[in-house]
Amino acid sequence: MKPTADHNVGFGVDFPGPFAHLVLVSLLPTDRREELVGDLIEEAETIVVPQCGRRAARRWFWRQALVSASPLYARRSTRKVTMNRWKWMTLVLVLIAGPLMALDPSVLSASPPVIALVSFAILIPASAGLLSGNLRVLAGTAVFSGALLLAARLTSGIEIRWYAMAFIFFIVLKGGWWLERRLSSAKG
Amino acid sequence: MTKSNSLGDFEQLVMLALLRIGSDAYGMIVRREIEERTGREVSLGAIYATLDRLENKSMVSSTLGGTGRQRRGRAKRFFLVETPGLEALRRSLDALDRMRSGIAGLETEEGVEV
């Protein structure tokens, strides 16, 4: 490739920038994300920029980030879920609170779309609780499913007390797990 | 050999790259080593997914290392081949050698690369 004027200049200290960071966070799974992005920035800056210039290096960076996402997601989907006591407690909670919520008379007498909505709203935090260790994912799913149930409550009058109780226990369990991980990583 | 301790084609390449690089092996260096030696374009995501799988099988271990301005403060993850990994790699390469021995045009002389 023909050398350009921006060769050897490198990227600014804010590269890839806050918006790009947001895109990368959304695009790549959490596993190894920081190391992967660090590697891409380093390779782009130390090897691709001197050879091809900044513009080409930016294109290279984003192409690499895009093609890197699918193998990581594929790996995540085939990885065994490692259970720990927090996940077991979450599973027990879901197994108890889910049927209680779903079998509530007000839910059983509701229309099929409302029952489907309630089932969906229970399954979202259940799967997030079992599969994800990310507090932001937990908060996002819990708020989303809470909003779904609230909408169902307002439109069809179903009871959501079981969900509310389960939600509080769920947050306590997940918070405990998150805190334990933070403390152990601080010690390690 | 069971499925859990056998190595696929790409896993062999990654393990060999780790052994060639030594203690300074991290994602970007492994990717470049494979690309330069094989001419095969590989994504960093594929490298990390493979390393994660090998680490789960206890064939490699990893440690977090230094950051730096060029990485905008993001840590490197260094990978090292462990004894089970070395044994599995040796078994895979031996099996490959045994399979190709006697096939005209595929045999190699000692120390001479194909």
pLDDT of residue A87: 67
CA A72 to chain B, closest CA, distance in angstroms equals: 5
- Helices A85-102 and A161-187: crossing angle, nearest 10°? 170
B3 interfaces chain A, CB cutoff of 8 Å: no
pLDDT of residue A62: 87
B28 interfaces chain A, CB cutoff of 8 Å: yes
**Bridge partner residues of B81 (DSSP):** B60
- Helices B44-56 and B27-38: crossing angle, nearest 10°? 110
The A-side interface with B (CB below 8 A) comprises 13, 15, 28, 31-32, 34-43, 45-47, 64, 67-72, 74-75, 79
Collect all residues with Cβ–Cβ distance below 8 Å to A29 and sequence separation of at least 6: A69, A72, A73, A76
CA-based nearest residue to A129, from A111, A148, A145, A110:
A145
Q: Suggest the residue from B4, B40, B44, B62 to mutate for an interface test with chain A (most A CBs closer than 10 A).
A: B44
Mean pLDDT by 10 residues, chain A (188 residues): 49 68 77 87 87 86 87 78 68 71 76 80 71 64 77 78 70 73 69
Q: What is the pTM of this model?
A: 0.64
pLDDT of residue B11: 95
pLDDT of residue B108: 67
Distance CA B97, CA B61 (A): 27
Name the phi and psi angles at A153, rounded to 5.
Answer: -65, -45
pLDDT of residue A136: 64
CA B73 to chain A, closest CA, distance in angstroms equals: 8
Please classify residue A168 by burial: count the beta carbons closer than 10 Å to its beta carbon, then call 0-12 exposed, 13-18 middle and 19+ buried.
exposed
CA B14 to chain A, closest CA, distance in angstroms equals: 15
Whether A41 sits inside 8 A of B68 (CB atoms) is: no
Residue of chain A whose Cα is closest to the Cα of B77: A35
Q: Chain B partners of A69 at a C-beta cutoff of 8 Å?
A: 45
Cβ pair B23, B65 in contact under 8 A: no
pLDDT band with cut points at 50, 70 and 90 for residue B86: very high
Comparing A68-72, A160-164, B19-23, B68-72, which segment has the lowest mean pLDDT? A160-164
ipTM score here?
A: 0.82
pLDDT band with cut points at 50, 70 and 90 for residue B4: low
Percent residues over pLDDT 70 in chain B = 89
CA B86 to chain A, closest CA, distance in angstroms equals: 22
CA-based nearest residue to B7, from B39, B48, B36, B50:
B50
pLDDT of residue A3: 45
pLDDT of residue B10: 94
Q: Chain B partners of A41 at a C-beta cutoff of 8 Å?
A: 70-72, 74
Mean pLDDT within B43-70? 89
Joined together, the tokens standing for residue A49 give 């920029």
